[in-house]
Structure 1
Amino acid sequence: MLDSPVIAGWKTELLRVSQWTGLDERLSPAATKKRRTHWASRDEAWRHFHSKPAFARWDERILSAYIDCAIPQTQPNGARTLAFDRHIEYLIYRTLPGTLSARLAHGAPVPVEFIAGTHSREVRHVGLEMTRRIVGERFEWVNGSHLFPMERPTA
């Protein structure tokens, strides 16, 4: 698992309540519901994403590939459109499983390793108690944030 800690204990109930009330839309990546979907040019898309703190840390080759693949040119004038449905992305974040920790309380059915970013806000918010219980010794830290694979793809 790449910097995806398992939510457990009282945080599971907090997750359920936040999903039920819609509060998670302000506290989680569910804000992608309002993600921008159109850019006038590749350069505009680059500037847009590179100005965002999370994307600004990405390796420039990865950000370039993201723009080319996820925001392809859709108009002869160079305009670009997001290639995936932001509503589906929103629904993924709105349906984070609140029952995963109970299912994995006695271990995972297959070996699992966890790699966490040293500067991951997600790890700090959720905690790692249940994750450590599931993965045991198969736990590693790498330099970077939650999106460390995009920041340091070679590593």
Structure 2
Amino acid sequence: MSQPLFFAHANGFPSGTYRKLFDALAPDYRVMHLPQHGHDPRFPVTDNWPELIDELIHHLEAGEGPVWGVGHSLGGLLHLYAALRRPELYRGVIMLDSPALTPFDQWLIRAAKRFGFIDRLTPAGRTLGRREAFDDLAAARAYFAGKSLFRSFDPDCFDAYLQHGLHPVDDGLRLRFDAATEIDIYRSVPHVSPASTRQLRVPLALLHGQRSAVVRRHHAVAVQRLPQGEAHQVEGGHMFPLEQPQATAERIKAIVARWHLQRTHCA
């Protein structure tokens, strides 16, 4: 029987972009996900993301029991904070290049918000002014292919982003993920958490890209110091789940299989 896995995407990348990763996890895992986080008016984007965490918990509560929570960047942090609040909803959490924010990180974020340099600390500044509309698919493909962020994407994942990251409008195509929402998510990155990560009651694994500019060494060290924490460096950058979806799926499977075996031995 397939195991329940709830995936949460990175900021700005609708879940459909990860279809190749989901396919690689099947049939061992029944992958659930929201099409887009942060777009339900019942759960608006506010400072420190309390409603985004509520949104995730709301959908986990509607499921069939505890899940393996897997998230990329934003999604990994949402799972971590949801698991701190509601550990009974989880079997374990795997963060894919998500920075497990330390007290120093949180102090720096608080200062950046207060003194107005949060757009330099997060990708918000690079998101401002991003092109949102395109005449046709060819124009969108050429635009994104020229961006360094997409340079190492698996070709199928790049095609999936064009399919799921854009939607038709009267005069062409437009980004499906609202740009203002994406910026608000960056600007409201938490400077507080529901509890200390040391209070986490489920296993936590961090997979971080060797060339990532998001997850730093101190983030990995902080996870490794947790009672049930582990960190593993993988090839690629911050977007490695979309650069190497098959290899990422295999790593997720291996971690979950080992956790499951440990639980069986402890039972």
TM-score tier after normalising by the smaller chain length = 0.7 to 0.9
Matched, 1:154 2:246: yes
Give me the whole-angstrom Cα distance separating, in 1, the residues matched to 2:218 and 2:132: 30
Matched, 1:87 2:180: yes
Matched, 1:21 2:115: yes
Matched, 1:47 2:142: yes
If asked which structure has higher relative contact order (CA below 8 Å, sep 6+), I would say: 1
Matched, 1:145 2:237: yes
Residue 30 (structure 1) shift: 1.5
Residue 84 (structure 1) shift: 2.1
Residue 149 (structure 1) shift: 0.4
Alpha-carbon displacement from aligned partner over 1:82-101 (angstroms, at most 9, x marks no partner)? 1121111111111111223x
Aligned to 2:191: 98
1:151–1:116 CA distance, 2 compared to 1 (3 A): same
Q: Which runs of 5+ in 2 are unaligned?
A: 1-94, 248-267
Q: How many residues align?
A: 152
SS, match of residue 208 in structure 2: strand
Q: Which runs of 5+ in 1 are unaligned?
A: none
SS, match of residue 216 in structure 2: helix
1:5–1:126 Cα contact (<8 Å) kept: no
2:206–2:220 Cα contact (<8 Å) kept: no
1:154–1:9 CA distance, 2 compared to 1 (3 A): same
Give me the whole-angstrom Cα distance separating, in 2, the residues matched to 1:83 and 1:44: 16
1:3–1:116 Cα contact (<8 Å) kept: yes
Where in structure 1 do 4 or more consecutive aligned residues deviate above 4 Å?
none
Alpha-carbon displacement from aligned partner over 1:45-85 (angstroms, at most 9, x marks no partner)? 1111111111111111111111111112323x6x2111121
Give me the whole-angstrom Cα distance separating, in 1, the residues matched to 2:153 and 2:211: 14
Give me the whole-angstrom Cα distance separating, in 2, the residues matched to 1:137 and 1:88: 31
Which deviates more from structure 2 when the two are superposed, residues 59-68 or residues 123-132?
Answer: 123-132
Q: What's the Cα RMSD here? A: 2.1
Residue 125 (structure 1) shift: 7.7
Give me the whole-angstrom Cα distance separating, in 2, the residues matched to 1:89 and 1:115: 23
The one of 117, 120, 124 aligned to 2:212? 120
SS, match of residue 4 in structure 1: coil
Which deviates more from structure 2 when the two are superposed, residues 10-19 or residues 124-133?
Answer: 124-133
Matched, 1:57 2:152: yes
2:223–2:229 Cα contact (<8 Å) kept: no
**How many percent of aligned residue pairs carry the same amino acid?**
30
Aligned to 1:11: 105
TM-score, normalised to structure 1, is 0.85
Give me the whole-angstrom Cα distance separating, in 2, the residues matched to 1:24 and 1:36: 21
